[in-house]
Structure 1
Amino acid sequence: MPQMSPLWWEILYIMFLLMFMIIIMIIYYNKEFNPQNNLNKKMKLCQFKWKW
């Protein structure tokens, strides 16, 4: 029979993984929906290329 780790080790490990995933998601969505980025994208879309 294999030796089992204490329950609190497993809980700590699961909590670490959850916090790690949440932090990565926050960083990703913060970069994705940054208002400065959206403003720059809209400014580029709104620029007209005039041909005289």
Structure 2
Amino acid sequence: MPQMMPLNWLFLFMLFMLTLLMFNILNYFQPVPTPLSTMLHMKTTVYMWKW
């Protein structure tokens, strides 16, 4: 099997690094659901206990 040229290794390295960087950037800016927003959408039932 022939050896790859150094330029090809550099291109491959840059491709993987850019892919990793883009993946991390896109995941960083995704909105994370907070417990407060999930609590607002839940249906709550209030029980009035009469002792």
TM-score exceeds 0.5 = yes
Identity %: 7
Match of residue 28 from structure 2: 29
Query: Aligned equivalents of 1:51 and 1:43: distance in 2?
Result: 23
Could you tell me the TM-score, scaled by structure 2's length? 0.59
Alignment root-mean-square deviation, CA: 2.7
Q: 4+ residue runs of structure 1 moved beyond 6 angstroms?
A: 49-52
Q: Which has the larger radius of gyration?
A: 2
Q: Structure 2: where are the runs of 5+ without partners?
A: none
Give the alignment of 1:7-26 within 5 angstroms: 7-26=6-25
Greater helix share, 1 or 2?
1
Could you tell me the TM-score, scaled by structure 1's length? 0.58
Q: Secondary structure at the match of 1:23?
A: helix
Q: Structure 1: where are the runs of 5+ without partners?
A: none
Query: Aligned equivalents of 2:19 and 2:37: distance in 1?
Result: 35
